[in-house]
Structure formats: C-alpha cells, structure tokens
Amino acid sequence: LALKHDRANDEVQELAALFALGSLGEEEARDFKRHLEDGCVVCQGEVAQFQKVAVALSFGAPGVIPPENLRDSLMTRIGRRPAVVAIPRPSRSIQVGWALAACFALVSVASILMWRGAQSEVEILQTRLAVASERASQLDQVAAVLRNPGARVITLKGQPEAPASQGSVYWDVNGRRWVVEAVLPPAPSGKVYQLWFVTPEEKRSAGLLRTDTEGRAFNAIQVPGDLGQIQAAAITLEPEGGSAQPTMPIYAVGATE
C-alpha cells in the first residue's frame, strides 16, 4: 500500500469497505490496519464512513436492498477477489452479506460516477484541444499566404440573405492559392455553401465550404491557371454536392480591389 493516499480511489474504497465489514483476508487486514495506524487520513475517513454504513445496514435499516443488477455485478466482482474470505459470523451472515453487497453497491456507484465524471471532462478537453489545434493550423495557413509578396485579401461581406455573414479570402497571387475562412449561418441539412471565382467571363466553382456547429468554414483552394481576371469571390448556398453554376441567392461576396 502507498504510504499515504491523497484521495479515495477504487482500491482504497474497496479495502475500506471490506475492512469495515471484517471481510478482508488475514494478511490484507493486518497490512491495512498498519496503514491506518501509520496515519493515512483518507483511509481512516473511508473506514469510518463504511463502518457507519455497515452498522446502519446490519442493525437499523432493514429496507436497504441493493437493486438486482447492481447486486449481480457486485457478486461477480466479489467473486473475482481471491482475498475475500467467508463471512465469519454465521448468525448474522445474511445481514452482513447484504451489508457487504450494499457497501459494494455504494462503492460501485461512486466509482462509476467518478469514472463517468472523469471521462466527460477528458472528452471536453479533447474536443477543445482538437478545435484549438485545428484553428492554429488554419492560422498557420493564412500566415503562410500573407508572407508572400503580392498577397491580397478579399473581404467577403454578408448579403441581405444573411447580413451577419463575413469572411476573408487570403490570396497568394503568385502561388495561385486561396485560403478562405468565413462565418455563415450553419447550413441547413441537405445544403452546402459553395465558393465561386467570379471573372468577367464566368462564375466558376472554387469548391465547397462546410460549416461547423458555430457556422465557421475554412478551405484552402488552388486557383486554376486558365482562369480569367478574378473580379470577386462569392458564396452561395447550394444543394448537397454543390452546383455547376450558382443557383441560390448570394450569401457573402467581396470584390478584388
């Protein structure tokens, strides 16, 4: 056992519960007792708590019966522990057995709740990290464009269809590359935003812009060599898969200067 515990983990709770019920193996009980005497406040606290529960369950709380499914999983778990010995007092064996099961129910429930709490925290942090990494990589791509001499920026402004929309096209003119970021109303299902190169001759698709849950879209696009003089960039909402020609009203547009 660790010299002192700084928190009640699963092992501590199990040991404390079994110890409080006098159900630890002889050697384990001796070790744990020494550990308590060495002054582990966490374990002392756990034992005190479980002793209270054990007493209440054995003598004063006949109505406490662990739910069926918990009892089953507890028994399986107890069965897996070689250190658990038979309950020593036959006259009270049933009560103590229930108390043991109930204590394990508490331990299990507590463990599951703690585990779930930790899991959801980990998930939230992982999501945040993924978003931050992606954002950092996008900013890198924007910076890479802007480092080029002759880089230009096309500012996209929201149109009456979605006035709050906005975006920027970072244009590496010599490298023939567009890095586009935009904030748009999240696209309805079955629809997708599409970006267009606008020249005097044509409106040619520059690719799709997929919005995340916050309506952010990002894309890096190669500018075709055979394209005429680019006059503007425009974003429209199109059916899933995109269109050959823009069919919907324009959501955001910006002219080259």
Could you say whether residue 5 binds Zn ion (CB under 5 A)? Answer: yes
The closest alpha carbon to 217, from 168, 256, 155, 150, belongs to 168
CB proximity list for 137: less than 8 A, separation 6 or greater: none
The closest alpha carbon to 222, from 188, 175, 181, 255, belongs to 175
Nearer to Zn ion, 43 or 107 (CB): 43
Nearer to Zn ion, 11 or 202 (CB): 11
**Binding-site string for Zn ion from residue 72 to residue 91, where x marks contact by CB under 5 A and - marks none:** --------------------
Q: Which stretch binds Zn ion (CB under 5 A): 43-51, 72-80, 136-144, 179-187?
A: 43-51
Could you say whether residue 184 binds Zn ion (CB under 5 A)? Answer: no
Could you say whether residue 20 binds Zn ion (CB under 5 A)? Answer: no
Count of residues interacting with Zn ion (CB under 5 A): 3
Could you say whether residue 217 binds Zn ion (CB under 5 A)? Answer: no
Minimum separation from the CB atom of position 105 to Zn ion (A): 22
Could you say whether residue 43 binds Zn ion (CB under 5 A)? Answer: yes
Minimum separation from the CB atom of position 5 to Zn ion (A): 4
Minimum separation from the CB atom of position 40 to Zn ion (A): 3
Could you say whether residue 21 binds Zn ion (CB under 5 A)? Answer: no
Q: Which stretch binds Zn ion (CB under 5 A): 32-40, 101-109, 143-151, 170-178?
A: 32-40
Minimum separation from the CB atom of position 46 to Zn ion (A): 8
Could you say whether residue 40 binds Zn ion (CB under 5 A)? Answer: yes
Q: Which stretch binds Zn ion (CB under 5 A): 15-23, 37-45, 108-116, 124-132?
A: 37-45
Minimum separation from the CB atom of position 7 to Zn ion (A): 10
Q: By the criterion CB under 5 A, which residues form the site for Zn ion?
A: 5, 40, 43
